[in-house]
Chains A and B, each alone.
Chain A
Amino acid sequence: MANEEIKSKLKAFFMSDLGVDGDVLNYDTPLFGEEIGLDSVDSLEIISFVDDNFGVSMTGVAKENFQSIDTIAAFIEKNKA
């Protein structure tokens, strides 16, 4: 799966499942910043989505990997089988 496809899948997930407004969500937008405001409950959803859709476990992974769509996609890319 191309990196771009992973990112677009992630963005669609943030919009449909976590209620994020697509207009303000770029690939480098900080997810846990003031504007998007993700919290620990949302990170559980991200972990579950990434596991189900890309077969990559993000359980216990360092915080910086969750910073943006870019960093999550990079982690997936690096760790997928």
Chain B
Amino acid sequence: MTSNNRRCVVSGLGVICAVGNNVEETWKNALNSVSGIHKTTSLDTKNCYADLAAEVHCDTLDDIECPDEKDRASKLCIKAMKEALNDAGLGDFADSSRVSVIIGSCVGGVLSIEKYHRGGKDANEIPKMPIAAIASQVAESCHAGGIVTNVGNACAAGTISIALACDLIRAGRADVVIAGGSDSFASVPYSGFLSLHALDENGCSPFNHCNGITLGEGAGIVIVESLEHAEKRNAKRYCEVLGAGVTSDAHHITAPREDGICLLEAMNRAVKNSGIKKSDIGYLNAHGTGTGKNDNAEINAFLKFFGEENPTLSVSSTKVMTGHCLGAAGAIEAVFSIKALTTNTVLPTLHYSAEDSVALKEKVGQMDYVQNTPRSKELECVMSNNVAFGGTNASIVFSKNPGDVQSLVAKDKKIAVTGIGIVSPIGNSKEAYLESVKSGKLPETASICSTVTNDDYKELGIKMAFYRKLDNLGQLQTVSGMRALKDANFTVTEDNAKQIGIIVGTSEGGLGATYDFQELITEEGNAGGSAFKFPHTVYNAAGGYLSILSGIKGYGVTITTGPLSGLDSIGYSMNVIHDGQEDAMMATGTDENIPIITELCQKLNVAADKVVEPYSDSNGFVVGDGSVSVILETEDYAKARGAKVYCYALGYGNGRKNVKFGHISGSGEALDMAINDALKNAGVSIDEIDAVCGFANGFKTLDDIERAAYARVFGDKLASLPLFQVKERVGEGRAASATLAAAEAALMLSGELAEENAYFIANGGVSKKKVATSGFKKILVTSFATGGSYSAVILGK
């Protein structure tokens, strides 16, 4: 049985979607087989072949603090969060570091992007645009002071958020996690799915007519709590959250694998990690979008996976009621699944005629695809599945019993850094980057970017048939990822493809591509979207392309929480390895600087007008970009394949002090917390730290926070402590710079970067000199995010 300290329970639920503005209303309508799909009233449907959507109608969304500063996606999420906290008997958390927020989203603040573009480019819209705003604003609303993370895996994001919530609790990093997903109905996804001819003009009909999806919107929140914490406060307990499985198709950017084998693997992992039998699952809330490709892949996967052991499993898709709520889907369906479990009710897929039922039976045999009306059924465990663009598969199990959850089975394994891939404005390989460092290359202008060329593709053997599909972000990501694999001498084969996963960290992800898509449809109308460009708007497209190209079929998650995502990708990867999910992980940080990104920085008055260097007390920074990938693997795995080791990942930490998203002032003490948390996690004392790879970029507000925290944490030692700042060369490349700082630390520890410019802070002043790095044994790496989150990683010899 799962030991008590690994048990995660659900203590509160919140939901808002087309069939209800709260759990009670939504559940009542679900039991009455009500569909929320109607003709859309909020978007222009001129010349569009489909005009149905499942929209939320709620006039109290603005009853929150500062509604003008929040996108509809945040408002939906905060509404569901408030209901869930109230349900759980929880309130304001007073910045407790034990309360985390993890929210998934697909299109994030896309309505604010549209408003900015159509409405005279008002700078106030900018902070509402990225997905990262959502979890941060949720945390700010209830003063959750723990780890704040957004998941950007499109339509599987909601499920992954709940899985990550359990990972944090089981790793002892949180007591309570507000987990879920949120997305709003908007022109970009509507036009995008139209361009793909993936909308059903008659309303979606999963496992039945399968002519396409119908978009919905909404948010779902599940309060996941450690058993210990829930017991202590005598909390309501709906159920346990057992294991989850996340895999990558390595197949196509929009279409799932027809054979469904990677979805099957996700379910297999979920069942295995839960320590249950397949036959313990009584109901499966399928992804069931209503496209032929998705539904057939699922039908195949369910038959193959459950066929013999659980032939009469009950299956349904609730998307005929809610529409496809994208990043919120997994969270809303988790609420449905949990209500189904606790009330012993299986929910139906709606709109089956007698003929439809006969046709379905031919496809699915004796499996129980519940149709039209709900039914009572004694349930022990339920499973909820979601899949996404980029090839992500996610599966999670909710249960009345504690199961036998497998977690942290490899927690004592040492994690080695064995490969580095760098794409930066000063070079597209580790070698080119090191050469530029040696020659003292600096930015030539205040806005710089990386450029991938055909030479990169040629060298890596990437064919035109593949690279022609990539947008800029995908180019940066695939080249850095493939270079990291090559550097690690890691050949992905059929045998090891499931033993390695990818975590991409990105600050803005597909925001630039979303803006470009919005620009296109503002001109052409919603009927004029591009099927070629639409996939790039999802934040996990870059990671998806890397999975397709490399063949990596294991864990695949994109986190998007600001610049620190490039360090959190390392922290979360360590967790995945320690959990025994994978033997190896690629942790990356990727962000792009296309013209709209520089424009947004300029509008926010954070872009410098000339080249500035760290600690220059400037009123802006050089806008940069890049992609940096790092291979992490257990020492055993590295040794077994004869890999060279750069250094070891010893520990990671996080800290948060809530300030408004888009701001950082006043949050500095959270950096101290992140550093101390990382030291504790690594079992290292502050005196053992020989150097710091930091995040200063020249912008006074940010740099002052960084140096003040170091002064507090290091005390007198700071005067002689070398601080390395990659942004002097690559600008503010957000997540890419965060991973680059870690890569530099690894290069110094391995001896490949023998000499480097170091900043020293003493007597209130800053000096700079070249230092030899050969004596370093342990290096601290730090990063930040607006809203008040900080992360730290410790690498050592």
A residues bordering B, Cβ < 8 Å?
A: 17-21, 24, 34-37, 39-42, 44-45, 48
Contacts and interface: CB of A to CB of B under 8 A. Distances in A.
A18 B166 CA distance: 42
B713 interface: no
A40 B293 CA distance: 12
B354 interface: no
Interface stretch (B171-179, B465-473, B716-724): B465-473
A18 B468 contact: yes
A19 B469 contact: yes
A20 B464 CA distance: 7
Given A41-B254, A48-B195, A17 B465 contact: no
A14 to B, nearest CB: 9
A48 B47 CA distance: 13
Given A44-B195, A44-B196, A37 B466 contact: yes
B464 A44 contact: no
Contacts of A48: 195, 531
Contacts of B255: 40
B463 interface: yes
Contact of B530 (A34, A39, A45): A45
Contacts of B637: none
B293 to A, nearest CB: 10
Contact of A44 (B197, B252, B469): B197
Contact of B465 (A34, A40, A41, A45): A34
A17 B516 CA distance: 13
Nearest to B530: A45
Interface in B223-282: 252-255
Contacts of B252: 39
A18 B467 CA distance: 10
B531 A19 contact: no
A56 to B, nearest CB: 17
A17 B468 contact: no
A48 B534 CA distance: 14
B654 to A, nearest CB: 39
Nearest to A45: B532
Considering the complex of A and B, which 8 residue pairs feature the smallest CB-CB distances, nearest first?
A: A37-B465, A19-B468, A44-B531, A45-B532, A41-B531, A21-B464, A45-B531, A20-B468
Contacts of A42: 531-532
A41 B464 contact: no
A46 B405 CA distance: 50
Interface residues of B, number: 20
A73 B133 CA distance: 48
Contacts of A39: 252
A48 B191 CA distance: 14
B464 A35 contact: yes
B517 to A, nearest CB: 13
A44 B531 CA distance: 7
A2 B675 CA distance: 69
Contacts of B253: 41
Nearest to B253: A41
Given A19-B467, A35-B464, 15 more contacts: A17-B532, A19-B469, A19-B470, A20-B468, A21-B464, A37-B464, A37-B465, A39-B252, A41-B531, A41-B532, A44-B197, A44-B531, A45-B530, A45-B531, A45-B532
Contacts of A45: 530-532
16 contacts: A17-B530, A19-B467, A19-B469, A36-B464, A36-B465, A37-B463, A37-B464, A37-B466, A41-B253, A41-B531, A42-B531, A42-B532, A44-B197, A45-B530, A45-B531, A48-B195
A36 B467 CA distance: 10
B470 to A, nearest CB: 7
B195 A21 contact: no
A24 to B, nearest CB: 7
Contacts of B254: 41
Contacts of B470: 19
Contacts of B530: 17, 45
A65 B628 CA distance: 43
A45 B197 CA distance: 11
- Name, among B195, B253, B469, the residue most crowded by chain A CB atoms within 10 Å (CB to CB): B469
A20 B467 CA distance: 9
Nearest to A36: B465
A33 to B, nearest CB: 8
A12 to B, nearest CB: 15
Nearest to B469: A19
B516 to A, nearest CB: 13
- Name, among A17, A19, A20, A34, the residue most crowded by chain B CB atoms within 10 Å (CB to CB): A19
A44 B255 CA distance: 14
A44 B532 CA distance: 8
A35 B465 contact: yes
- Name, among B465, B532, B535, the residue most crowded by chain A CB atoms within 10 Å (CB to CB): B465
Contacts of B463: 34-35, 37
Interface in B719-766: none
A78 B325 CA distance: 43
A40 B468 CA distance: 15
- Name, among A35, A39, A41, A44, the residue most crowded by chain B CB atoms within 10 Å (CB to CB): A41
- Name, among B254, B454, B464, the residue most crowded by chain A CB atoms within 10 Å (CB to CB): B464
A67 to B, nearest CB: 16
B480 to A, nearest CB: 19
A39 B255 CA distance: 11
A20 B560 CA distance: 31
Interface in B449-499: 454, 463-470
Interface in B85-110: none
A19 to B, nearest CB: 3
Contacts of A44: 195-197, 531
Nearest to A34: B465
Interface in B530-550: 530-532, 535
Contacts of A18: 468, 532
Interface string B636-678: 0000000000000000000000000000000000000000000
A41 B196 contact: yes
Contacts of A35: 463-465
A39 B465 CA distance: 10
A36 B469 CA distance: 10
Given A37-B463, A45-B531, A21 B468 contact: yes
A66 B469 CA distance: 19
A81 B196 CA distance: 27
A35 B531 CA distance: 21
Interface string B194-225: 01110000000000000000000000000000
A31 B253 CA distance: 19
A3 to B, nearest CB: 26
Contacts of A19: 467-470
Interface in B514-573: 530-532, 535
Nearest to B197: A44
A34 B464 CA distance: 9
A14 B646 CA distance: 44
Interface in B130-157: none
A67 B464 CA distance: 18
Contacts of B535: 41
Nearest to B532: A45
Contacts of B531: 41-42, 44-45, 48
B496 to A, nearest CB: 26
Contacts of A24: 464
Contacts of B454: 21
A35 B195 CA distance: 25
A48 B255 CA distance: 20
A68 to B, nearest CB: 15
Nearest to B467: A19
B387 to A, nearest CB: 17
